[in-house]
Amino acid sequence: MTKTIGENFFLDPRLKEAKKLIQEALKEHQKNITGVKAPNPELKESYDQLLKKMADYRGGALFYNYLGTGIGHGPFVELADGSVKYDFITGIGVHYMGHSHPGVIEAQINGAISNTVMNGHLQQNTDTAKLLELISKEACKYGAEVKNVFLSTSGAMANENGFKMIFQKRYPAARFFSFEKCFSGRTLGMAWVTDKAAYRQGLPKTLDVDYIPFYCESDHEGSIRIAVNAMKKAIHRFPGQHAGFVMELIQGENGSWVGNTEYFEALIKVCQENNISVFIDEVQSFGRTHELFAFQHFKLDKHADIVAIGKNSQVCATLFKDDHKPKPGLMSQTFTGSSSQISAAYYVINEIVTGGYLGKEGKIEKLHQHFKAHLEKLAQKYPEKISGPFGIGAMVAMTVFGGDEAKSKNFTIKLFENGVLSFMAGASPTRVRFLMPVMAVETKHIDEVCAIIEKTLVEMN
Ligand SMILES: Cc1ncc(COP(=O)(O)O)c(C=O)c1O
């Protein structure tokens, strides 16, 4: 069959050779990254200056003194002070594959040597078509109908696009439901959906949202009743005015709080009775449960009208049913993602689906059980310092020092200094959470991370 010039270019043996050399060099240098390492005192002065410069130009200091050198090895990342850390937060759930993963590097090279830096809605390469097919087929494999996939560059934008489609379909209904303590992003719209006052302080109101209490495992029946009643009350107060319900099935930013199928079904029933679209926000949960999508894990396939993904997917997207298709003019974007991003997204998603990560016997569950067992032991040993663990799959959290915010912050910073990246989440109680680089982590890494967690707990009073 005739090949295009592009196909011939990408098959050129010189490119193959160049990529082989890059991989060889990478492997050789990665060999030197084998475990946690303290900062090099000789680099302290230059690193401090770099951090100061960064803070000055950025308009504020970084949460962690983290400036990477651009190389890592699986769960390990090297920082510019010469230190090596365990990355168990992965840019808040992005680097699923760990650092400097050879397969991802190769995918990125393929993107980097393609003709443009960015893809956008006027100009997309064949890589995008391949990616959309993969996402669409995987999303619909158990009967969901969200077959249309619209790429975007952030989770917040993927959510905005979903909201726009729902508002247009349900016009003139202009209210939304979301969950108490949910996180939806930081655009002007999403700042009013996210249930955190500090994230919208000083901002003009853009959306009317009614917040429904989230599922409570210790009061299964009660939490369903309370949530359904809260929905009905709001609908009674504002009849016909609710366009959609955005559901974060596992509340990530709140500290890995896990929902429940029966609970979601009860709320979805109220949605169906009142022409309210169901919007599943999977920006954080994508690729972190037994299924690629958390809505598949909770068996809500038939009910999803819109689904947003991000983070692990490397490029963000809004998936939607035919009956939510936007009218011409509502949506378009200069950028859908960089060529490297789109190429890497295909690699990562395909690997999640085919690499033995999913399912009850998959790697995610194995890592979860291992991590959970360790944290349970720590909670038994230091009951005054740690409780939990909480979460599901590759979203694991714990509470330290009773969920006190200042102490939790202090703990994460000390844990970072001792060699492990984690992050705080939620409030009253604050939790400390981990979003592991699933492709790169082995159980021995979890053993080491838990030893560092214990050391840090012991050091703190
Ligand atoms: C559930 C959820 N939705 C939306 C977002 C926003 O994504 P982004 O930060 O890429 O805009 C996040 C980010 O943490 C999230 O966890």
Question: pLDDT digit string (tens) for 326-343?
Answer: 999 999 999 999 999 999
Q: Specify whether the CB–CB gap between 75 and 437 falls below 8 A.
A: yes
Whether residue 183 has its Cβ less than 6 Å from ligand 1: yes
- Angle among Cα 291, 397, 99 to the nearest 5 degrees reads 70
Three-class DSSP category at 190 = helix
- Report how far ligand 1's centroid is from the alpha carbon of 409 (Å): 21
Q: How far is CA 275 from CA 167, 182, 233, 370, 422, in A?
A: 12, 22, 16, 43, 41
Q: Give pLDDT, residue 362.
A: 97
253 pocket-lining for ligand 1 (C-beta < 6 Å): yes
**With a 6 A CB cut-off, is 282 part of the ligand 1 pocket?**
no
What is the distance in A from the centroid of ligand 1 to the CA of 316?
10
Euclidean distance between CA atoms 394 and 302, whole angstroms:
25
426 lines ligand 1 (CB under 6 A): no
- CA dist 208 and 89 (Å) reads 33
Q: Cβ(283) to ligand 1 under 6 A? A: yes
* Cα separations in angstroms, 353 against 198, 250, 364, 374, 439: 38, 20, 12, 27, 12
> Is the minimum distance from the CB of 195 to ligand 1 under 6 angstroms?
no
284 lines ligand 1 (CB under 6 A): yes
* Maximum C-alpha span of the chain: 70
Q: Of the residues 309, 311, 312, 424, which should be mutated to test ligand 1's pocket, given the most ligand atoms within 8 Å of the CB?
A: 311
What is the pTM for the complete model shown?
0.97
CA of 302 to the centre of ligand 1 (A): 24
User: Of all protein residues, whose CA lies closest to atom 4 belonging to ligand 1?
Assistant: 184
- What integer pLDDT is reported at residue 266 of this predicted model? 98
Alpha-carbon distance of 109 to 97, in angstroms, equals 16
Q: pLDDT (tens digit, 9 = 90+) per residue, 147-197?
A: 999 999 999 999 999 999 999 999 999 999 999 999 999 999 999 999 999
The helix or strand, by DSSP H or E, that contains position 25, with its residue range, turns out to be helix 13-30
Average pLDDT, the chain: 97
Shortest-distance atom of ligand 1 to CA 182: 1
Rounded to the nearest angstrom, the distance between the alpha carbon of 194 and the centre of ligand 1 is 10
Q: Which atom of ligand 1 is nearest to the CA of 248?
A: 1
Which mutation among 190, 283, 435 tests ligand 1's pocket best, with the greatest number of atoms within 8 A of CB? Answer: 283
Q: Is 249 in the pocket of ligand 1 (CB under 6 A)?
A: no
Residue 159 identity: N
Is the model's pLDDT at 103 over the cut of 90?
Answer: yes
Distance CA 158, CA 35 (A): 37
Q: Whose CA is nearest to atom 7 of ligand 1?
A: 155
DSSP label of 362? S
Specify whether domain 112-354 bears CATH 3.40.640.10. Answer: yes
CA-CA-CA-CA torsion sign (30, 77, 357, 125): negative
Q: CA 251, CA 167: separation in Å to the nearest integer?
A: 24
The H or E element that residue 255 is part of is none
Distance 159 CA to ligand 1 centre (A): 9
Q: Are strands 84-87 and 175-179 parallel, antiparallel or unpaired?
A: unpaired
Residue spans of the domains in the chain: they are: 112-354
Which residue type is seen at 30?
Q
Buried b / exposed e along 66-87 (16+ C-beta atoms within 10 A): beeeeebbbbbbbbbbbbbbbb
pLDDT tens-digit readout, 219-277: 999 999 999 999 999 999 999 999 999 999 999 999 999 999 999 999 999 999 999 99
Report phi then psi at 92, rounded to 5.
Answer: 55, 60
Question: Which pLDDT does position 121 carry in this prediction?
Answer: 87
pLDDT band for 77, please (50, 70, 90 cuts): very high
Tell me, in angstroms, the distance from the centre of ligand 1 to residue 199's CA: 13
**How far apart are alpha carbons 98 and 128 in whole angstroms?**
23
Place of tokens 């393929």: 110
**Mind listing the pLDDT tens digit for each residue in 281-305?**
999 999 999 999 999 999 999 999 9
Token output for 236: 């009674």
Which ligand 1 atom is at minimum distance from the Cα of 187?
Answer: 11
**Residue 29 CA to ligand 1 centre (angstroms):** 34
